[in-house]
Homo-oligomer: A and B are copies of this chain.
Amino acid sequence: MRIITVSREFGSGGRELGKRLATELGWDYYDREIIAEIARKCSVSEDYAHYMLGQTFSSSAAITMGQSFHIPEVLQSTQIKLLREQTNVIKEIAARDRDCVIVGRNADLLLRDYNPLNIFVCADTASKIKRCAERSGKDENLSEKELLKNMKAIDKNRKNSREMISDSPWGDPKGYNLIINTSGVEIKKLIPSVAVFAKGWFESKDKD
Report which A residues bind B (CB closer than 8 A). 120, 122, 124, 171, 173-174, 176-181, 183-190, 192-194, 196-201, 203-206
14 A–B contacts, CB within 8 A, in A order: A120-B173, A122-B174, A124-B174, A174-B181, A176-B179, A176-B181, A178-B179, A184-B205, A185-B201, A185-B206, A189-B203, A189-B204, A193-B201, A193-B204
Q: Is the CB of A178 within 8 A of B176?
A: no
A183 to chain B, nearest CB (A): 8
- Residue of A124, A183, A184 ringed by the most chain B CB atoms within 10 A: A184
Oligomeric state, in number of copies? 2
Q: Complex Cα distance A190/B198, Å?
A: 10
Contacts of A122 in B (CB 8 A): 173-174
Given contacts A178-B178, A190-B204, A192-B200, list 6 more A-B pairs with CB under 8 A: A122-B173, A178-B180, A186-B204, A187-B204, A188-B204, A193-B200
Q: Is the CB of B193 within 8 A of A199?
A: yes
Contacts of A176 in B (CB 8 A): 179, 181
Q: Is the CB of B205 within 8 A of A185?
A: yes
Contacts of A174 in B (CB 8 A): 122, 124, 181
A77 to chain B, nearest CB (A): 36
A111 to chain B, nearest CB (A): 16
